[in-house]
């Protein structure tokens, strides 16, 4: 799953930990949170190291596998990223983030036809789940068909009003349409529920760095 060098480093760390009296059960959470913060700042290499350490405690955790895949993706190592997205989906077939990330990766690596077929199959196999509609909205956004993308997101939200992927995609559309304040509000609401969302933390950080602030209450 990981490079030879990382496998060796992981084995060494596990051996070192075995010599300790015990490792706190929440140690993986500490490394994961550190990785999320580093990722939000664009430090993908060190974020990957943190996620790798977290995986020594929970090697089958789909969230940590996905986080590591995101780092490889940002670092341009699409081969490792694709492998880990696929492994994440094996561990959790309903992991919408990984499935959408895999679609995005295929688009970026010249396999749009394959990605579109994957979205179509997603919608056909699970027509009552919001995530497939979000994936189709993502596809429409790539084509700059923003009104159609918003309609797809409304379909997704009618099925699941709190769907995180739909709310994230809606926030991205707000950014593209010149409404970053509305985007930031949505990002902050999502992070309040789940602070370990890599892409959302990164997007929120970039907006704040540009001086974007949530609108003042009336």
Which residue shows structure tokens 């950014």? 175
Q: What is the pLDDT along the chain (218 residues), one digit of tens a residue?
A: 444 344 434 433 433 333 333 355 688 999 999 999 999 899 999 999 999 999 999 999 999 999 999 999 999 999 999 999 999 999 999 899 999 999 999 999 999 999 999 999 999 998 999 999 999 999 999 999 999 999 999 999 999 999 999 999 999 999 999 999 999 999 999 999 988 788 898 999 999 999 999 887 76
Whether the CA torsion 44, 47, 53, 55 is positive or negative: it is negative
Helices (H), the chain: 4-18, 27-40, 44-57, 62-74, 78-91, 96-108, 112-125, 130-142, 146-159, 164-176, 180-193, 198-209
Element holding 19 (H helix, E strand): none
Per the listing, tokens 């027509």 go with 127
Q: Could you tell me which of 41, 66, 30 has the C-alpha nearest to residue 206?
A: 41
The Cα 90–Cα 1 span in angstroms is 13
Q: What is the pLDDT of residue 103?
A: 96
Fold of 1-75: 1.25.40
Task: Tell me what pLDDT residue 7 has.
Answer: 42
Backbone angles phi, psi at 189, to 5 degrees: -65, -40
> For residue 23, what pLDDT is reported?
52
Alpha-carbon distance of 118 to 100, in angstroms, equals: 10
Q: What pLDDT is stored for residue 16 in this prediction?
A: 38
pLDDT at 196: 79
Percentages helix, strand, coil for the chain (3-state, rounded to 5) are 75, 0, 25
Contact at 8 Å (CB) between 187 and 203? yes
Q: What pLDDT sits at residue 19? A: 35
Query: In the chain, what are the domain boundaries?
Result: 1-75
Dihedral through CA 183, CA 186, CA 192, CA 198, nearest 10? Answer: -50
Q: Are 207 and 182 in contact (CB under 8 A)?
A: no
Cβ count near 17 (within 10 Å): 14
């Amino acid at each position: 799953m990981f490079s030879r060098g990382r496998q060796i480093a992981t084995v060494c760390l596990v051996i070192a930990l075995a010599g300790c009296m015990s490792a706190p059960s929440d140690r993986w959470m500490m490394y994961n949170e550190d990785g999320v913060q580093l990722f939000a700042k664009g430090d993908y290499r060190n974020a990957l190291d943190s996620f790798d350490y977290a995986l020594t405690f929970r090697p089958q955790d789909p969230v940590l596998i996905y986080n590591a895949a995101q780092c490889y993706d940002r670092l341009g190592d699409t081969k490792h990223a694709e492998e880990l997205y696929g492994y994440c989906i094996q561990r959790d077939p309903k992991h919408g983030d990984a499935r959408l990330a895999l679609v995005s990766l295929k688009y970026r690596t010249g396999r749009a036809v394959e990605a579109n077929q994957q979205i179509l199959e997603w919608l056909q196999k699970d027509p009552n789940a919001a995530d497939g509609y979000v994936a189709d909205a993502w596809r429409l956004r790539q084509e700059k068909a923003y009104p159609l993308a918003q309609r797809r997101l409304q379909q997704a939200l009618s099925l699941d009003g709190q769907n995180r992927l739909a709310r994230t995609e809606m926030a991205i559309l707000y950014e593209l349409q010149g409404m970053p304040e509305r985007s930031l509000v949505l990002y902050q609401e999502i992070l309040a529920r789940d602070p370990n969302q890599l892409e959302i933390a990164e997007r929120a950080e970039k907006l704040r760095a540009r001086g974007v602030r949530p609108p003042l209450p009336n």
